[in-house]
Amino acid sequence: MENLFRNGRLLEMLNAFGKVANGLGIDFFLVGALARDLRLYNNSRLASKRMTRDVDIAILLASEDQFYEVKEALLATGDFVAHDREAIKLFYRQAIEVDLLPFGEIENLDRETRIEKPRPFIIDVPGFKEVLPAAEQVTVEGLTIRV
């Protein structure tokens, strides 16, 4: 699992993201392959042998405007840059791909989220609202994060 935290860049990114989200009062948790890897961190027999290429972060939002507020605050740190076509994708220090997966009141009746800028993008993340209360805190290398 040491490769997951090579050079501490991933921990830096998670800390930077957490500061922005917490400052805005945004609830979030990790999902996807990184969440799996963090849950299995202490079990070398089950730990993933392959490093994920991106970090998926589920963010609880009330509106599309709130999505842009979070995204702009992350960009304002100077550590994150936006993907030129995909609204939900950012890059941390040109090294880590971060996908922001909005859910909550931002979803329409079909449980889809539509983001208009830089071009229309629709994402479907059913189950995030239901999983949020069960997300557990995991501490790795001094960082505590919900997965």
| Full domain range(s) for residue 24 | 2-146
Parts of the chain with a pLDDT under 70: 1-7, 41-52
pLDDT in tens, 40-50: 765 556 555 55
Number of domains the chain contains: 1
CATH number, domain containing residue 82: 3.30.460.40
In DSSP notation, 65-114 reads HHHHHHHHHHHHTSSEEE-SS-TTEEEETTTEEEEEEEESTTS-TTSEEE
**pTM tops 0.75, yes or no:** yes
